[in-house]
A = this chain, B = another copy of it.
Amino acid sequence: MEASIQQVARIAGTTSRTLRHYDAIGLLPPTRIGHQGYRFYDRDALVRLQQILLLRELGLGLETIREVLDAADDPVPALRRHLSWLDAEAARLERLRTTVERTITTLEEGGDLMAEEMLDGFDHTRYKDEVVERWGKDAYATSDAWWRGMSEAERADWKTASTTLAADWTAAAQERVDPASERAQALAARHVAWLGSIPGTPGYGTAPVKEYVLGLGEMYVADPRFAKNYGGEQGAAFVRDALARYAELHL
């Protein structure tokens, strides 16, 4: 039993264009090609098409589908991989959601789009809840007061310094420097000194508390808002590793 391209498309609930596409990429060649060039499909082809469409609905790419079907492989491992991909995507969306909501809140409280950026170097304010929970209300209140007490010019200077630091981190990370190298450790020293200059930091006046530094490092990696200051997740991981080593040796 043979069917034309249009008939097959209707039966399977897709379009003739899709079938031509699958032919073009070699995923589903027609059973027979008439002297006029018309494509004809038999029952086996229809079965394969159904499998393709099934897998496609699960969200797999055509290339993956081809591998699964052609290898006559057990499709379960591929499906499991796909499952974890779905999970990763869901997690990403959830993070986006959180960020968007936070941005909306910021805007509605009177901030402009840049208000978020302006605080880039001043991580605490954006993590009020976490900071309060982990380091106490006083730490937050102190640094908050310090921040609010600065003049515009002072803030600008301070921001420049922190931006420069972040840029240097990013550059080092992009050059794939070893976190244990002198260069990275020098940056870590600057970073720690910078942290120590912020009133409210645990250990302010002497040197920041080791656990505080380690915790910050993790936060840089875990949260995209921080991570982006250091060149994404990779960069943040580099910062975290360098800071961790520095903290172990010197704090």
User: Could you tell me which A residues sit within 8 Å of B by CB distance?
Assistant: 10-11, 13, 47, 50-51, 53-55, 57-59, 74-76, 79-80, 82-83, 86-87, 89-90, 93-94, 96-97, 99-101, 103-104, 107-108, 113-114, 116-117, 163, 167, 170-171, 224, 228-229, 231-232
Contact = CB atoms under 8 A, between A and B. Distances in A.
A114 B99 CA distance: 42
Contact of A57 (B76, B87, B228, B231): B228
Contacts of A116: 54
Kindly report how many copies of this chain are found in the complex they form together: 2
Given A75-B107, A167-B10, A83 B97 contact: yes
A97 B87 contact: yes
Contacts of A57: 99, 224, 228
A94 B101 contact: no
Contact of A86 (B75, B93, B163, B229): B93
B93 A90 contact: yes
A17 B47 CA distance: 45
A195 to B, nearest CB: 21
Contacts of A83: 97, 100-101, 104
A231 B13 CA distance: 6
B13 A232 contact: yes
B86 A117 contact: no
A103 B58 CA distance: 9
Nearest to A107: B76
29 contacts: A10-B170, A11-B163, A11-B167, A50-B117, A51-B113, A51-B114, A51-B117, A53-B228, A54-B113, A54-B116, A55-B113, A57-B224, A58-B99, A58-B100, A58-B103, A59-B96, A74-B107, A75-B113, A79-B100, A79-B103, A82-B100, A83-B100, A83-B101, A86-B93, A86-B96, A86-B100, A90-B90, A90-B93, A90-B97
A108 B56 CA distance: 20
Nearest to A50: B117
A86 B90 contact: no
A93 B94 CA distance: 11
B97 A50 contact: no
Contacts of A101: 83
B103 A97 contact: no
Contacts of A100: 58-59, 79, 82-83, 86
Contacts of A55: 113
